[in-house]
Chains A and B, each alone.
Chain A
Amino acid sequence: MKSKVAERMMAKMPEDVKIFVDKYADIVVRINQLLKEKNYSQKELAEKLEKSPSEISKWLAGDHNFTLRSIAKLEAELGETILYVPKRIAFQTYSEKTISFTVLKNDHINTNVDFTPVTASCKSENELSNVI
């Protein structure tokens, strides 16, 4: 069920409004989740970022126009990525066509490690975690 008024407005909703609100909501939720996970109180975060507790309170309530600077400060303090930016990489093929791939830039993982074959005798969680 949908109100007729809502239906009319949704039909005319500009695409950039959808993109803006969806990203805004994702950022607000992500920041709130990270603060909860890391047990940050508003006071502690305010002290770390040298902001007033009332300003941090507005951040946590989503009552804030995020800037790239404020997100960067939060990422630095929390040690976690809040925004991922897709990277576009072009490859030249044998047919001389150029193909582009969009790659999500995730956190760096060290792949320069020796792998140990998993055997039947390798059962404990510790052993498995060493392998993984």
Chain B
Amino acid sequence: MSDGPTPEELGAYVDEAAKRVGVPIAPEHRPGVIQFTGVLIASAVLVMEFPLPDDVEPAPVFRP
């Protein structure tokens, strides 16, 4: 696993993603959002780096 993003990189990600998703982040909420985004990105890296076989479908099943 890599060292992960720096706080500055996380801050830049939060600012850009929030703009794209249309979720305004108030300045007083930004440090907390950056902190938890760091936790979630670290979790996402653990998930993404795992080599899954191609034939594994997502768990949820939709029955029309």
B partners with A: no
Residues of B within 8 A of A (CB): none
Residues of A within 8 A of B (CB): none
